[in-house]
Amino acid sequence: MSLPAEFELIRRYFAPLSGPGSLSLADDAAILQPRPGWSMVATVDTVISGVHFLPEDPPDLVARKALRVNLSDLAAMGAEPVGYLLVTALPSATDEAWVARFAQGLAQDQAEFAIGLLGGDSAATPGPLTITITALGQIEAGRALLRSGASPGDRVYVSGTLGDGAFGLKIARGGGSGIEAAARAHLLERYRLPRPRLRLGRRLVGLATAALDVSDGLVGDLRHICEASKVGAAVESVRVPLSPAARALIEAGEASLAEALTGGDDYELLFTAPTEAEPALARIAAELDLPLTRVGEIRADPGLDVLDESGRPLALGSGGYRHFG
Amino acid sequence: MSLPAEFELIRRYFAPLSGPGSLSLADDAAILQPRPGWSMVATVDTVISGVHFLPEDPPDLVARKALRVNLSDLAAMGAEPVGYLLVTALPSATDEAWVARFAQGLAQDQAEFAIGLLGGDSAATPGPLTITITALGQIEAGRALLRSGASPGDRVYVSGTLGDGAFGLKIARGGGSGIEAAARAHLLERYRLPRPRLRLGRRLVGLATAALDVSDGLVGDLRHICEASKVGAAVESVRVPLSPAARALIEAGEASLAEALTGGDDYELLFTAPTEAEPALARIAAELDLPLTRVGEIRADPGLDVLDESGRPLALGSGGYRHFG
């Protein structure tokens, strides 16, 4: 085994990451004290080498993405992150340098998001390297952004740009020869290092009627909101915000608008808000320097229509429907 | 792939387990409201097929043990369990019947411990079946039982009997031919189905000065308390409580007292308390019908002495020291 024992691995790489409430990772469990009148929010995600990332991916980026997809779930609830629990299942052939760079990535994002490591577990596995992160946050009691609050007449918004995540995966797989290197780099970074919209989520509390983070693609995720809220929606695909790099990849014939609407891994916030919220949203977009784009409308009729520039249904393929087979 | 898609697997087997705060597993994160003035407690453990359990182990017992080792950590803090997050990484060859029985085991223990499934993640893995559970509980703020509160003069206690977990593993590996079938069954059950001492943990709040659950063996775990509390301890090995089945296995020459003191997987509580607590502990033991046995004493001098019946150091082998290599 090329790794030191679990105890030593924790001492060297993970104990230095421990935050308030972690009891220095030396007790049986972490203790978290939400502010008076606040609730705790908890979410968990697992990533497996060869399934969710490639064995040759930079370990610090693997760590940061594993953390960020969880923080994105907290953002979607309007919660403020507190910390996280980390489980590493490592093959015996794992290089110690891999663990060191992995821990560096965690340290970098802990500083960026003001969170600490609260606890965890570590095991040797005969299978692929597997990382599981449980993120914990807090939100004013009764104020969490849910998927179930959208009403007919609400507008549908997305933050940032869509499609970059799915297009970045194409780049990671060797695509993108028809676009410039800088555009390839932009898409690859968007795929490898999602930006959890935590500040936006906090600002949407009390303003948005429903929200989630786009992990299955706009179409699939808006359907989740419609089902939870028992409403329908219409999306004007021409309004969907695309990055210049994503547009370039579409123009180069290596991707389609439909893929931008149904591909996952964007980790932008998709939310609904009443018409009166428009001026407040414009102010938030300016303050956060983050586009908030109206892409559609909630209707009483169930079902989701995605319309092209002529108002006709857009052909989407099967991408956005994969959870509904 | 012999399993239905993730969405369908969740709908069939895990959504029916969802408890209050889970938002029916249909939102981005779970919401937990601790009682006013209480803190949340969080812990996580992972178990891997072929490492922590055998592929042929009954799936309901795999589920219940995975849940119970986490509940045991909550018990060691004096916390009351609230619920848990579940991550399943399943090989594509997993039989759907395995998942069904696994979920049955979870349902059984949810009822026994009055907890609910709060959320989770599910992924296909090319590696061994892996289960990760994050348990969440609550405790009066500032009252958690830590490892760091033991003082010289405190007595050292354990609940139940020790060694059954390690001896049960010997049975699972085919040992125990020298003892009766009922004794083998007792040890095997103690290994496969630990009993998290949640009621005891709650009663020890305000009474015990330090506590943890015995997962590394009495010797290793008492050392954890000594290090965290900056004290030493003496254990009288003759006082260590053994089950009749464990005594039989020792008498049959298939196990030793030293193994009972250094083997893991007991999940009893090991705790310290001042002399004055003795009458209260006797009442609790009677009320819970659970032996609480004094096995030693905390001293100011660092170091841990384990003494035989003549007061001489007991030879322990390397078992209890495996984290201190």
For chain A, domains (ranges, CATH) are: 6-140 (3.30.1330.10), 155-315 (3.90.650.10)
Looking up tokens 């500040």, which residue turns up? Answer: A199
Confidence tier at A319 by pLDDT (50, 70, 90): very low
Distance, in Å, from the CA atom of A164 to the CA atom of A242, rounded to the nearest integer, reads: 8
- Which residues in chain B have Cβ-Cβ distances shorter than 8 Å to A46? 87, 89, 121, 123, 132
Residue of B nearest to A52 (CA): B123
**ipTM reported for the complex surpasses 0.90:** yes
Q: For residue A316, give how far its alpha carbon lies from the nearest alpha carbon of chain B (Å).
A: 21
Query: Quick one: which H or E segment has residue B11?
Result: none
- Global confidence as pTM: 0.93
What pLDDT is attached to residue B307? 94
What pLDDT is attached to residue B21? 86
Q: Do the strands A80-90 and A116-124 form a parallel or antiparallel pair, or are they unpaired?
A: parallel
Query: Quick one: which H or E segment has residue A77?
Result: helix A59-77
As given in the structure block, the two tokens for residue A288 are: 């956060």
Q: What percent of chain A has pLDDT over 70?
A: 97
Q: Does the pLDDT at position A6 exceed 50?
A: yes
Q: Is residue B290 helix, strand or coil?
A: coil
Start-to-end Cα distance in chain A? 44
Beta strands of A103-215 (E only): which ranges? 116-124, 130-140, 155-159, 210-213
What pLDDT is attached to residue A318? 52
Query: Quick one: which H or E segment has residue B269?
Result: strand B269-273
What pLDDT is attached to residue B2? 63
* Average pLDDT for chain A: 93
What pLDDT is attached to residue B8? 87
Q: Tell me the sheet residues that pair with A305.
A: A234
Distance, in Å, from the CA atom of B26 to the CA atom of B13, rounded to the nearest integer, reads: 14
What pLDDT is attached to residue A314? 86
Mean pLDDT of A50-68: 95
What pLDDT is attached to residue A23? 85
Interchain contact, A132 vs B44, CB within 8 Å: yes
- Which residues in chain A have Cβ-Cβ distances shorter than 8 Å to B123? 46, 48, 51-52
- Phi then psi for B264, rounded to 5 degrees? -100, -165
pLDDT digits (tens, 9 = 90+) for A291-301: 999 999 999 99
As given in the structure block, the two tokens for residue B317 are: 């082998």
Runs of H (alpha helix) within chain B: 6-9, 59-76, 96-113, 164-172, 181-192, 198-204, 218-229, 244-251, 257-262, 278-288
What pLDDT is attached to residue A5? 81
CA neighbours closer than 13 Å in the CB half-sphere of residue B139:
28
Residues of chain B with pLDDT under 50: 1, 319-325
Q: Does the pLDDT at position A26 exceed 90?
A: no
Residue A315: C-alpha distances to residues A83, A246, A265, B137 (Å): 42, 19, 21, 48
- Which residues in chain A have Cβ-Cβ distances shorter than 8 Å to B141? 33
Q: Are B17 and B110 a contacting pair, CB within 8 Å?
A: yes
Nearest to B126 among A30, A50, A73 (CB): A50
CB–CB contacts below 8 A, A to B: 198
Q: Are B233 and B271 a contacting pair, CB within 8 Å?
A: no
In terms of pLDDT, which residue wins out, A200 or A265?
Answer: A200
Q: Are A105 and A61 a contacting pair, CB within 8 Å?
A: yes
